[in-house]
Amino acid sequence: MADSAITFDRFIERYPTVSFTKGEIVVFQGETPRNAYVVREGTVKAYNLSVQGDEKPVDFYTSLDIFPVPWAFGKAPNAYFYYEAFTDVTLYTLPRQDFIEFLQGNPDYMYKLLNSFVMGYLGNSMRLNALQHSRASDKLLYTLHYLTLTHGREIGPRQVEITLSLTHQDFANLTGLTRETAATELNKLKTAGVIEYGKHTLYQVELDKLQHVINDQFIADVEASLKQ
């Protein structure tokens, strides 16, 4: 049984690690993993493929995130999605039963994990909201909002940097747009001062300007909820 006196980051240090370079598949769709994975360094992307072979991103996993979640909780016999190294990554390999036992003996961590899942639910709700819009500009605006909530860090007053190194193609995959359309709309937002980015720099978002162009009170409510 796991020691209830230690934190998850200390607990996970006892397990071996594996490394993958950017673009390598960690878990294939339909594969039955031998272990769960916990991110030590880097970012892992989960995605599905359309009938046409287009990539459809589902989620991103960063420091101390565990995946595949349904399999780790014993709710799925295999992986529902592809899990790929979005950057070079180092991952802990964690036996599923050890993870379950740690949860059962650590209510504080279980509450923290539940809180993380609620945050993910809110973020994914915003992602769904983005995809339901018909205009390309709205899809990108709401997707940027989703990313600031789920993968953003404050770098100044009402200014957030998205911690994922995203390309125009990544935004196209996230929104279902073509790369050319995504690039055009992102450049419009850059010209308007809503975002700032470069070839080798992360996306920075001016939250007040983003809210102004979206003009949706719901956004302020979600921001407040995620900061609690």
Contacts of 224 (CB under 8 A, 6+ apart): none
Residue recorded with tokens 């975002």: 195
pTM value is: 0.86
What confidence score (pLDDT) does residue 224 get? 44
| Residue 91: Cβ-neighbour burial (10 angstroms; 0-12, 13-18, 19+) | buried
Model confidence at 227, pLDDT cuts 50, 70, 90, reads: very low
What confidence score (pLDDT) does residue 32 get? 95
DSSP secondary structure of 23-53: T-EEE-TT---SSEEEEEES-EEEEEE-TT-
Q: Which of 20-29, 127-136, 191-200 has the highest mean pLDDT?
A: 20-29
What confidence score (pLDDT) does residue 228 get? 43
What confidence score (pLDDT) does residue 218 get? 61
What confidence score (pLDDT) does residue 120 get? 83
pLDDT per position as a tens digit, 65-121: 999 999 999 999 999 999 999 999 999 999 999 999 999 999 999 998 998 888 888
Do 194 and 204 form a contact (C-beta atoms < 8 A)? Answer: no
pLDDT per position as a tens digit, 116-142: 888 888 888 888 888 888 889 989 998
Per-residue CA distances from 188 to 56, 204, 221 (Å): 24, 14, 26
| Alpha helices (H) along the chain | 8-12, 69-72, 96-105, 107-132, 136-151, 168-175, 179-191, 207-214, 217-227
Contacts of 212 (CB under 8 A, 6+ apart): none
Model confidence at 203, pLDDT cuts 50, 70, 90, reads: very high
User: What tokens were used for 86?
Assistant: 């979005």
Model confidence at 213, pLDDT cuts 50, 70, 90, reads: confident
Domains of the chain: 8-105 (2.60.120.10), 124-227 (1.10.10.10)
